[in-house]
Amino acid sequence: MAERQREEAMDRDVDRREFVLGFVAASFGTVALTSGVAIAAGGAVLDQPWAVWAKDARPVRGGYVRIAVEQYIGKMNPNHWPVLDWVSMGYFHEKLMITDGTYSANVPWLAEQVTWENPQQVIMRLRDGVTFHDGSAFDAENVKFQIDWIRDPASKAWDVSWLAPLDSVDVLDNRTLRWKFKAPWAGFNGVCASVPGYMMSAKALRAEAEKYDSQPQGTGPYLLEEASPGNFLKLKRNPNWWFAKASNNPDMPYFDGILVTVIPDPAVRLANLRAHTVDILTLEKSQYAAVSGDPELNVYRFPANHVNALRFNVTKSVFRDIRLRKAVSHAIDREALIAGTQFGLARLASCMYPEDHWCHNPKLKPVAYDPEMAKKLLAEAGHGGGLSVRGYYSNTSMGQTVAEAVKSMLAEVGIDWQVELLAPVAATARMKDLDYDLAQGGWIYIYDPELIATGLYHPDGGFNFGRSRNEPAIALIEAGRKEVDPVKRQSIYWQLEQVLYDSYEDAWLWWEQTATAYRKTIQGWNQEGILKYKEAWFWSHPLWFKDGKA
Amino acid sequence: MGKYIGIRLAHSLVILAIVIVLVFIIARLIPGDGIMAAMAGSVDLHDAQVVERVRHQFGLDQPIPLQFAVWIGQFVRGEWGTSIGTGENVLDMFRSRLPITLELFFGATLWSLAIGIPVGIIGALKRNSAVDVCLTAGTIVGVSIPVFWEAILLIYVLSVVLPIFPPSGYVPFSENPLLNLKAMVLPSFVLGTHSGGLLARYVRSSLLEVLGQDYIRTARAKGLSEPAVVARHAMKPGMIPVVTVIGLSWGGMLAGAFFVEAIFAIPGLGRMGVEAIFQKDFPVVQATLIVVSVNVLLVNLLVDVLYGYLDPRIRVRP
Amino acid sequence: MTETGPIGLVAPPISRRPPFALLRAVVRYRLARVGLGIIAALCFLAIFAPVLAPHSPYHQDLHGALAAPSRVHWLGTDNLGRDLFSRLLYGARVSLFVGIVSAAVSAALGVVTGLFAGFKGGAIDAIIMRVTDAFLCFPPLIFILAMSAALGPGLHNVILSFALFGWTGFARITRGQVLMVRELPFIEAARSVGVPPRRIMMRHILPNIMAPVLVAITITIGTAILVESGVSFLGLGAQPPTASWGKELRVGFAYLETTPLFSIAPGVMISLAIVSFNFVGDGLRDALDPRLRGLG
């Protein structure tokens, strides 16, 4: 594979820089996965076609970029909950693998090469020359310590269930690890491209693991300079970022630093953007129309891999009765919700996986809006005179709007949803205690299909806590973990979607779309590249200020 | 004078005691499972041992009077506990946020003086004229308008429609003094209008009272021009209420700061207090309530003493 | 009507005249007239809201969310497509209800306590006064916010929290008035004749101190409206789908640039209400005692 691309590079009339890049890239290994789902010819990150810089792009060092967000990041140890800002997490933490545009974790990042000896054993070679922000070396010992730390129940890692198929991880030498699984594990790459794959400094974890929540030591392009909980995060440039050297771009990352300010009110955030005190802003859906015409801003809109849903307490509430779950699901006018609360910036969801995900079952249609049926079902289940249920929803501006809209829709069919608007910590407590009937559900950052499925529906899943116990689904989840044949694996997850759909396990609402505004001084965004390569593009293409000045 | 101060001090101590009891009651009114709920985010409460540990940590397993005593002891020693929400030391939180809120207050006080004194003087000098009626109505409006709406309105006019002031975002003074001041203009103005209106009314009435005195009439009879009369004889005694009003509106400013800081995203004590109240972060809530009330108590005491010093009549009847 | 005792006194100052005379005096003041007019209008709107509102304030129409003012929706719609004008009308009900009930309960609690303190005197009086001082060390909003958070969301908790704090002001005023009045000859006369203390309190003292209490009630209604809107602004207080001005203000704030009316209109209403009660209260106070004119 590397051979062919080198020929192509020589065949084209390329300039010297691209040639050097291609040469450097070709000297890195490629990834070979027996899962074979890797479509875009899974190669090392640097010899992907999209890694080639545009000829007239001249990144310039300099400038302090300011971003405004709605919520403070919360915990900075990704294995602890709640973490409310994964974008910022990605500034100082990096993962072993990252996903490409097909939702497959094919792109090695901190791992250099992943070799499957057999479906139950993987040899992983780590990248050389990577150091943590506290100076300690990123090596095999470090990775082993971290994985063992996650699996230790005393660490209270919410993602420990994702490592359940792991038998052991052993250090072979300074840069090599052997991962042994209890059974064939198709989702291993996916887990390395998810939360357990964020590499943390073992030195810091050993010293005081609790402190890590506020003083992370990662390998990322920016290191934490100052954190004021609830107010801001100040990050400064990591001059020793490995990717800068590896991609022969010593100026990376281009920004001198990042200031992430927490501004809870959407109007104030937008006013800051207009006043040029903020450079990058994720827009509220209602602001998109007004802002997209602004000549000083570039506004980009792209599908995001998050799903919004309502979760039922299937095991311990009235929603044990599937008729009531159906009633709720059919009582919601999803199209109206999307039109009115999302201003069209959402895609109507049929089930969990977004429509461009390879595990999305194309035969499933979004649940129809049928309030009459809902009323009938309610009466059948013995609640013709009305049903009162409790729950919670996020207390952000958007959360309030959606919760109220849904509450009103449910009221129309006779269901009184006593919904409380809660901050993340309080919501987590309720979720853990199953202290709700109907609450906010959904999932953010859907990548490998196993992760969301386990997290939500497996008994040990990080976000289940016993609220869902769908035996056929659990069986399918465990089968999907082990199935290495990509076609068979896809069919398993399609079946899983069907099972969850038929049992109305959740009321899926929509898949997200994001709209982000950038001041025109920020360069380097390639909408095509992002649509095509998603995470892999974000991670390998740092932005820069035109002229290096904010 | 000494007797007067002594009595006021004694009263203040009794009030302080009651205040502390009140805060304790309010803080514990947040039901026990509120504390548990807040902790649930970080510990596993299904483990009975963990529950015991948490209860012990917050002293919930002790009898109430003992909890009270322990708490007072801790507070006095400066052990204000750890925030349930962020895990920070509460005293450190106060220390880092106090200067910011003080800057806001300082700016607000400047604004209220800048608004209150001129408006009050003009109102007094031109009493019962159209100008006076307008100004009086204006001051009542200034006092009545909710501070959060005023903030929104001003942000809309001065940041969205006419982008003159940065709408929020606190920039540390050490980083960029100019931006810091610019960002503080709107918030301190919003905070200052309430006490500014109050001040204007006090100044006006006080000045009017002074102008009605005999010695003013004498000065006029002597042939002094009106401006000279006002400037030389009426101003100083007329300004006595300024000190007391600033002091008395301190408490109101604290409440206003809650909103102003939340809306303008200023990382001060007010915002911390609001968030703590909502998250039932009761170590922070307790500490905030104590700090606020002791603050008001001290200011009231100071004002009383000052007033007693300035106006001998008060001392006779404490 | 004058209250003459056995010795025969001249008419007592206006502060001890019954309320109606006071009201007539107030109307002399321009601003107070304006205030009364606004209050009357608001009460009218609140009482007849169901009739006046062109739409139901709860009917949501998501496809028409955040619409600009039109002939169908005079002030546009909110974030769920509900008619803003109708919601403001119903919001008047909430604000006035909460304001009046809060003030009434505070007054009831406070006046009783103040009567007790003033009449009994001595240690009880001193203790009660120190307790009120302690309460008054807390800025009202902060205290009520903390109480509301502790008690939970809902308007009834706002009223309760307000009353738990608001009684202090009334207690002080009442006690002050009782102290002034109880030394008066006609009270002494009643006591010497053997009228039981309770009767003295209810029939002789109380009617004579109502005037300042009335002023306080008026101002307190304004304060209560302010506090309710503040608490609802922060998320406690009114719960969906209740239309409270404070809550509309908060929700509308998010859409400031796109739909400014959504947050400006409720703010105007809140300010109008508070201002008008303050105007009237001011006028009452001026009528009561011209020396106090202009005091905040």
> A308-336 pLDDT, tens per residue?
999 999 999 999 999 999 999 999 999 99
B-contacting residues in C 147-186 (Cβ below 8 Å): 147, 149-151
Nearest CB neighbour to A340, from listed C80, C251, C253 = C80
- Beta strands, E only, B161-302: none
CB contact (8 A) between residue A423 and residue B167: no
Q: How confident is the model at residue A21 (pLDDT cuts 50, 70, 90)?
A: very low
**CA C197, CA A359: separation in Å to the nearest integer?**
84
pLDDT tens, position by position, A250-279:
888 999 999 999 988 898 898 888 888 899
Residues of chain C neighbouring A289 (CB-CB closer than 8 A): 258
Quick check: A548 pLDDT over 90?
Answer: no
pLDDT at A173: 94
What are the pLDDT digits (tens) for B9-62? 888 888 888 888 888 887 776 555 556 655 655 555 566 676 777 677 666 667
C235 touches chain B (CB under 8 A): yes
Q: For residue A191, which of A462, A510, A475, A503 has the smallest C-alpha distance? A: A462
Please say if the pLDDT value at position B175 is more than 80. Answer: no
Which residues neighbour A495 within 8 Å (Cβ) at sequence distance 6 or greater?
A476
Per-residue pLDDT tens listing for chain C (296 residues): 333 333 333 444 444 555 556 565 655 677 788 888 999 999 999 999 899 889 999 999 999 899 999 999 999 999 999 999 999 999 999 999 999 999 999 999 999 998 888 888 888 888 898 898 888 888 888 888 888 877 878 888 899 999 999 999 899 888 888 887 777 777 778 778 877 777 776 777 777 778 788 889 998 999 899 999 988 888 888 888 888 999 999 899 889 888 889 989 999 999 999 989 988 888 887 777 654 443 33
Q: What's the confidence (pLDDT) of residue A54?
A: 64
Where is A431: in which H helix or E strand?
helix A424-433
- Rg of chain B on CA atoms, in Å: 24
Hey, is the C-beta of A405 within 8 angstroms of any chain C C-beta? yes
Nearest CB neighbour to A286, from listed C63, C64, C66: C66
Contact C130 B11 (CB under 8 A): yes
Partner-chain residue, chosen from A156, A210, A229, that has the shortest CB–CB distance to B88: A229
The answer to whether residue A229 scores a pLDDT higher than 80 is: yes
| DSSP of chain C | -----TT--PPPPGGGS-HHHHHHHHTTSHHHHHHHHHHHHHHHHHHTHHHH-SS-TT---GGGTTPPP-SSSTT-B-TTS-BHHHHHHHHHHHHHHHHHHHHHHHHHHHHHHHHHHHHH-HHHHHHHHHHHHHHTTS-HHHHHHHHHHHH-SSHHHHHHHHHHHHHHHHHHHHHHHHHHHHTSHHHHHHHHHT--HHHIIIIIIHHHHHHHHHHHHHHHHHHHHHHHHHHHHTTSSS-TT---HHHHHHHHHTTTTT-THHHHHHHHHHHHHHHHHHHHHHHHHHHH-GGGTT--
Q: What is the pLDDT of residue B310?
A: 67
Q: CA of B202: which chain C residue's CA is closest?
A: C295
pLDDT of res. B138:
85
CB contact under 8 A, B292 and C138: yes
Q: Does B251 touch chain A (CB under 8 A)?
A: no
- Minimal C-alpha gap between C60 and chain A (Å): 7
Least confident of A364-378, B224-238, B259-273: B224-238
CB contacts under 8 A, A 419-448 vs C, are 419-421
pLDDT top residue among B4 and B316: B4
- Which contacts qualify for B230-233: CB closer than 8 Å, 24 or more apart? B230/B125
d(CA A42, CA C252): 48
Neighbouring subunits of B (3+ Cβ pairs under 8 A) = A, C
Yes or no: say if A275 and A263 are a contact pair by the CB < 8 Å rule.
no
A417 vs C: CB within 8 A: no
Mean residue pLDDT across chain A? 88
CA distance A440 to chain B (A): 17
- Partners of C140 on chain B (C-beta within 8 Å) are 255
Q: What percent of chain B has pLDDT over 70?
A: 80
Res. B71 pLDDT band, cuts 50 70 90: confident
Which of A337, A400, A409 shows the shortest C-beta gap to C251?
A: A400
pLDDT value of residue A25? 39
Test the B interface: residue of A425, A428, A464 with most B CBs within 10 Å: A425
Is the pLDDT assigned to residue A296 strictly greater than 80? yes
> Does B37 lie at the interface with A, CB-CB under 8 angstroms?
yes
What per-residue confidence (pLDDT) applies to B254?
83
Q: Which residues of A touch C247 (CB under 8 A)?
A: none
Spatial CB neighbours of C291, under 8 Å, sequence gap ≥ 6 = none
Average pLDDT over chain B, rounded to whole? 78
Q: Does B285 lie at the interface with A, CB-CB under 8 angstroms?
A: no
Report the C-alpha dihedral over residues B290, B291, B297, B302, rounded to 10 degrees: 160
Q: Which residue has the tokens 């300039």?
A: A15
Structure tokens of B251? 């408490």
Q: A339 vs C62: CB contact, 8 Å cut-off?
A: yes
Question: Worst-scoring range by mean pLDDT, A375-379, A475-479, C132-136?
Answer: C132-136
Do A65 and A522 touch, CB atoms closer than 8 A? yes
Q: How far is CA A244 from the centre of its chain?
A: 24
Minimal Cα distance from C233: which residue of B?
B148
**Would you say residue B219 has pLDDT above 90?**
no
To the nearest whole angstrom, how far is the Cα of B246 from the nearest Cα of chain A? 30
**Rg of the Cα atoms in chain C:** 22
Is B274 within 8 Å of C31 when comparing Cβ atoms?
Answer: no
Q: Is A228 on the interface with B (CB under 8 A)?
A: yes
Specify the pLDDT at position B301.
Answer: 84
Q: Give the Å distances, CA to CA, from B312 to B315, B316, C169, C200.
A: 6, 7, 26, 36
* C60 with A405: Cβ contact below 8 A: yes
Count of C-beta atoms within a 10 Å radius of residue A163: 16
How would residue A40 be classed by pLDDT, with cut points 50, 70 and 90?
Answer: very low
